[in-house]
Structure 1
Amino acid sequence: MLTSGSNGPSLSMGADSSGGNNLRSESFTEEKYVDDSLESGCLSIVVLGASGDLAKKKTFPALFNLFRQGFLQANEVHIFGYARTKISDDELRDRIRGYLSQGKGASVEHSDELSKFLQLIKYVSGSYDSGDGFTLLNKEISEHELSKNSQSGTSRRLFYLALPPSVYPSVCKMIRNYCMNQSDLTGWTRIVVEKPFGKDLSSAEELSTQLGELFDEQQIYRIDHYLGKELVQNLLVLRFANRLFLPLWNRDNIDNVQIVFREDFGTEGRGGYFDEYGIIRDIIQNHLMQVLCLVAMEKPVSLKPEHIRDEKVKVLQSVLPISLEEVVLGQYEGYKDDPTVSNNSNTPTFATVVLHIHNERWEGVPFILKAGKALNSRKAEIRVQFKDVPGDIFKCKKQGRNEFVIRLQPSEAMYMKLTVKKPGLEMSTIQSELDLSYAQRYQGVTIPEAYERLILDTIRGDQQHFVRRDELKAAWEIFTPLLHKIDNGELKPLPYKPGSRGPGQADELLERAGYVQTHGYIWIPPTL
């Protein structure tokens, strides 16, 4: 279900019946959601790179969950896999079956739905840079549209590129030349591309130009799956629908903001890919910067996708150049033992970067972005630390400050760290929390995977949670100078032990940025 619970929050949004940017209706109830999103004309979803890991582990499971929930109707949709591997329809179905059968709520009914879903999948083999395969793909799609008696000009074609960015230009050129829906009514062709969108500003702009010559910006959906996470999507509601936060969310009350991504494992067989990009390109420049935008942006004039994305761009354009004194890089010991990683690799597997936003709301507030692999815990969270209480009559400053924490994953939650009286006869204080833990508050509600939400948004034509070209450019402008210094060997990552917090210098940087560590307090997710 695409709801935060029967008694959880909902967004009030206008409806657009044009079929272009369908805005969500007043309720997040499933029935209304389905009714508003369906358009006439059959839907063809093409997964390019169908035999790869991303398609098997993310794309097909997301499509299956949408099918199970009724968002993809068997009488309207057909799914096509396309890749170079020469396999049959049944062989592709067998390859992905295991990734789908372990899904949420597996049961006899689940097995029944799985069989029906797999029958919707057809496979086409072909090259990514020659017309023969795409001609055959177009023939298969057209036959599907014809079999559904789709009215001319109303059929919809969604191409999901679960592929390396290096082949985007050639694949998009093939789609443009051989597979476009010749729409003259309500039909459309849309392209979903995965990160990384380039390696620096120039390569990202080159890629954007190449795609822009083939498709309009409204047809391109640059997917960043962090924007589909439930707690990330809740940020706008939290900030702009609650009077409590409006007067607090500024430099007068907030001392610093941390946005953290931690993994307790290393590259896990992805060493060759990761060594080409590193933790800043892989996590910080895209995922964490998207979160920063939602934390720091001004209130948009409406919830229309373009109004929201306009405000995100303004934040990025207000970020000051990164100071090298406010960067700590790390590389875990044993990283270069991976045979796919260069013995003299300078690629960071850990980074802490302090950013400053030069505007009226955030002047002087450090935004600390921290990401790393092979650390002592796995989590992603936003940590807003408030300033000290003036005139501290309880002398409790040493215990820690008020913090508002949004746990993005795992154990989704929002909690406020407060100083309260310790129970007992003495007047002593202790740190505690006001806690909204989703597993406890919304029992029985399945939080949708990010890819489910974003694929559904693509079908609806809602680009709110996708990256616009000028947004992408502004983000690369911030990080490209730093990345070039790392690539040129001018900045070296510090070694750290797997299972640690990362380099000790990162904690020193946090302290210099003004972050005050809380001692003796650990948030424990509630047990059911």
Structure 2
Amino acid sequence: MDGRPSAKGINSKEEEVSFDFSDSEEVQSTLSITVVGASGDLAKKKIFPALFALYYEDCLPENFMIFGYARSKLTDEELRNMISGTLTCRIDKRENCEDKMEQFLKRCFYHSGQYNSEENFAELDMKLKEKEGGKLSNRLFYLSIPPNIFVDVVRCASLKASSANGWTRVIVEKPFGRDSESSAELTRSLKQYLTEDQIFRIDHYLGKELVENLSVLRFSNLVFEPLWSRNYIRNVQLIFSEDFGTEGRGGYFDHYGIIRDIMQNHLLQILALFAMETPVSLDAEDIRNEKVKVLRSMRPLQLEDVIVGQYKGHSKGGKTYQGYTDDTTVPNNSLTPTFAAAALFINNARWDGVPFLMKAGKALHTKRAEIRVQFRHVPGNLFKRNFGTDLDKATNELVLRVQPDEAIYLKINNKVPGLGMRLDRSDLNLLYRARYPREIPDAYERLLLDAIAGERRLFIRSDELDAAWSLFTPLLKDLEDKKIAPELYPYGSRGPVGAHYLAAKYNVRWGDLSGEES
């Protein structure tokens, strides 16, 4: 074994022991969830609230506890006070809310320690064992920490705080490296202490309701599945925009940029789900196998297929907005893109020649994430011929709005009521807040529940990660080696003009430019 700790050191019973959510008296097991980096923003704003939501909905097992672990010196009570203000109940389920919060907080504990200290993790292990009371114990570690300390924490948890008689799993937050080389090194290092089945690489976009619905929409509706190919679809657009800048967090962002932060993970994962072939089953490995096939069929990005931008200061409505480099945490000469648009292609029989256009940016005119599918023109369009209907208006478009105000709508051509023949573009609209009045669970709730249950289909496998980085690494290297200057665009605008030229190069018009608010 060349002197290294075994990959099974953290737990060798991953496949033998599964968590039983029932109240069986035969197997009384406990679930211990340790949030590493408990004093950080992600833990306070997302992870603890998601865990409380699962508890409120009775989705957690009867015997569970939560430990916060960080370097900050806090007591159990101080942790509870810190997170209590972030806990909320569903709008449609307010009854017994305060009682539930009180019960949940009583199950929250804290341990202060260094991230690279085996001794501190041994102390955590003693506290966990004390709370577990000798029962079968399953342990989940959520690494809400910077990636440079992932391996230290996993090493210490493996050697000193893994479960002795149940499973141990680790959720790892992005970023998973900066390129192919660093990602491969991170995976290699983690696998000194973990098996692949124990690593849950989380991309919270995969837990969003509309992304989850992609496969249902396509594979269970006959009206869509036959159309899902180059024969009927002329382009697919994956759009992510934020209406705010780095807001004082530019130091972190400047190290990664918009391509690594959004495109290489969130948007590429959605693309793979959208374009994959029908999996053999809904089993996690069957789905992930199909996603990997899509990623391996794509041609690596070239400079000529990408536009990068960076927002600059702008005055609007009597208010002045700072540019990216005006952020005191960002170097004055930074070339880090805050906007990118790219054209990607899948070299297989289903999608040959169909441009998949990605666009992601900060400090744009709106906050939105959506998938837009533009269908081909109607052959020999009767109304185009006789009434001169605008070509774009003769094209159907399917839109899946991931956020905000989740919706699915299909743009169709329709006759305007009246004596004349005039066409109008109308929407067949499924607005989630109208059709499903209950509050939609947060993505972290779904992903945490899946990790507890050992369901891996919404988590990223190592070969998926390798294939994703292989697409973007040559581009990122070119951008940095050639010091490509990003095109400047005003804060609050629609982004760089270059993005429109890129789309036009493939005879595409961005679908989010109409200003619609369906």
CA spacing shift, 1:403–1:40, aligned 2, 3 Å? farther
CA offsets 1:103-150 (integer angstroms, 9 cap, x no match):
75685621111111111111000101112210110001011111xx51
Whether 2:411 is the aligned partner of 1:417: answer yes
Letter in 1 for 2:506: A
- How much does 1:97 deviate? 1.2
CA offsets 1:187-243 (integer angstroms, 9 cap, x no match):
200000000000000000000000111111111100000000000001111111111
Counterpart position of 2:57: 69
Counterpart position of 1:514: 507
Which of 157, 177, 181 does residue 202 from structure 1 map onto?
181
Whether 2:72 is the aligned partner of 1:85: answer yes
Counterpart position of 1:438: 432
Which of 269, 278, 281 does residue 248 from structure 2 map onto?
269
Whether 2:40 is the aligned partner of 1:46: answer no
Counterpart position of 2:363: 374
Secondary structure at 2:380 match in 1: coil
Q: How far apart in 2 are the matches of 1:327 and 1:139?
A: 53
Contact 1:225 1:450 in 2 (8 A): yes
Whether 2:319 is the aligned partner of 1:322: answer no
Secondary structure at 1:383 match in 2: strand
Whether 2:194 is the aligned partner of 1:215: answer yes
Counterpart position of 2:169: 190
CA offsets 1:491-526 (integer angstroms, 9 cap, x no match):
22110001111001101111222224679965434x
Which of 252, 259, 278 does residue 238 from structure 2 map onto?
259
Whether 2:174 is the aligned partner of 1:181: answer no
Contact 2:303 2:478 in 1 (8 A): no
CA spacing shift, 1:108–1:297, aligned 2, 3 Å? closer
Whether 2:46 is the aligned partner of 1:58: answer yes
CA spacing shift, 1:76–1:518, aligned 2, 3 Å? closer
Letter in 1 for 2:420: E
Counterpart position of 1:405: 399
Contact 1:34 1:70 in 2 (8 A): no
Q: How far apart in 1 are the matches of 2:293 and 2:461?
A: 13
Which of 111, 123, 133 does residue 136 from structure 1 map onto?
123
Counterpart position of 2:114: 127
CA offsets 1:351-383 (integer angstroms, 9 cap, x no match):
001100000000000000110000001100000
Letter in 2 for 1:93: R
Counterpart position of 2:147: 165
Contact 2:500 2:509 in 1 (8 A): no
Contact 2:143 2:170 in 1 (8 A): yes
Letter in 2 for 1:159: F
CA spacing shift, 1:485–1:55, aligned 2, 3 Å? same
- Structure 2: unaligned runs, 5 residues or longer: 1-14, 313-322
Q: How far apart in 2 are the matches of 1:166 and 1:99?
A: 27
- How much does 1:155 deviate? 1.2
Counterpart position of 1:363: 352
Contact 1:82 1:123 in 2 (8 A): yes
- How much does 1:322 deviate? 1.2
Compute the TM-score of the two structures, normalised by the length of structure 1: 0.89
Whether 2:209 is the aligned partner of 1:230: answer yes
Contact 2:65 2:108 in 1 (8 A): yes
Letter in 1 for 2:450: D
Contact 2:53 2:89 in 1 (8 A): no
Q: How far apart in 2 are the matches of 1:19 and 1:132?
A: 27
Q: How far apart in 2 are the matches of 1:177 and 1:249?
A: 49
Where do residues 383-398 of structure 1 align in structure 2 (5 Å cutoff)?
Answer: 383-395=372-384, 396-398=389-391
Counterpart position of 2:82: 95
Secondary structure at 1:430 match in 2: strand
Q: How far apart in 2 are the matches of 1:241 and 1:70?
A: 29
- How much does 1:323 deviate? 2.3
Counterpart position of 2:278: 299
CA spacing shift, 1:399–1:478, aligned 2, 3 Å? closer
Q: How far apart in 2 are the matches of 1:162 and 1:377?
A: 28
Whether 2:472 is the aligned partner of 1:485: answer no
Contact 1:346 1:489 in 2 (8 A): no
Which of 113, 116, 139 does residue 103 from structure 2 map onto?
116
Counterpart position of 1:26: none
CA offsets 1:450-501 (integer angstroms, 9 cap, x no match):
0000000000000000000000000000000111122224322110001111
Letter in 1 for 2:181: S
CA spacing shift, 1:361–1:178, aligned 2, 3 Å? same
Contact 2:408 2:429 in 1 (8 A): yes
CA spacing shift, 1:425–1:101, aligned 2, 3 Å? same
Contact 1:328 1:506 in 2 (8 A): yes
Letter in 2 for 1:71: C
Contact 1:418 1:431 in 2 (8 A): yes
Contact 2:143 2:173 in 1 (8 A): yes
Contact 1:255 1:514 in 2 (8 A): no
Q: How far apart in 2 are the matches of 1:228 and 1:442?
A: 18
Letter in 2 for 1:496: Y
CA spacing shift, 1:200–1:520, aligned 2, 3 Å? closer
Secondary structure at 2:383 match in 1: coil
Secondary structure at 2:157 match in 1: helix
Secondary structure at 1:100 match in 2: coil
Q: Which moved more, 1:101-110 or 1:42-51?
A: 101-110
Q: How far apart in 2 are the matches of 1:279 and 1:344?
A: 17
Q: Which moved more, 1:401-410 or 1:109-118?
A: 109-118
Counterpart position of 2:498: 505
CA spacing shift, 1:502–1:516, aligned 2, 3 Å? closer
Which of 314, 331, 343 does residue 342 from structure 1 map onto?
331
Counterpart position of 2:9: none
Compute the TM-score of the two structures, normalised by the length of structure 2: 0.91
Q: How far apart in 2 are the matches of 1:47 and 1:341?
A: 30
Contact 2:306 2:340 in 1 (8 A): yes
Secondary structure at 1:177 match in 2: helix
Equivalent pairs, count: 488
Q: How far apart in 2 are the matches of 1:421 and 1:123?
A: 64
